Amino acid sequence: MYDKNKILTGLAVFVVFMTYPFWNNIGSAAYVRPEIEKPKNSKECVESVEFMRAEHMAMLNEWRDEVVRDGVHEYHSKANHQVFQKSLTKTCMKCHENKDQFCDKCHATVSVSPYCWDCHVDPKGVKK
């Protein structure tokens, strides 16, 4: 082989980079699904669990636009036909009261940093 040292060094760098996920996790604890704190004061969300799990971010985004731009504050639930106020802090966080134990658990593990908290304050966070 010609230029053996250079080529093998290059390949070593390549292998180290490409196997990063494997060697980076050696010795770390097995990954478990984060446990989120379930609300104590209610059993049902504004929509079904599956819908909320997939679409909560889109829903909050829509709520913000509708409240701020159109002044529409009422949300009619498709799941239980109740009327809710479109509000992160007044509706969502009435039940899911702890941001650290609810929102952040999943967001942190998949590295999502929603910008809700650029404007909203975390009610529990302030008391601490």
Q: Is 125 in the site for another protein (CB under 8 A)?
A: no
Residue 74, φ and ψ in degrees, nearest 5: -100, 135
Q: How far is the CB of 45 from another protein (least distance, A)?
A: 16
- 108-121 in b/e burial notation, b at 16+ Cβ within 10 A? eeeeeeeebeeeee
Which 33-52 positions form the footprint of another protein (CB under 8 A)? 33-34
Number of residues that bind another protein (CB under 8 A): 38
Region from 28-36, 37-45, 75-83, 91-99 binding another protein, contact rule CB under 8 A: 28-36
SS3 content of the chain, % helix, strand, coil (to 5): 50, 5, 45
Region from 26-34, 38-46, 73-81, 82-90 binding another protein, contact rule CB under 8 A: 26-34
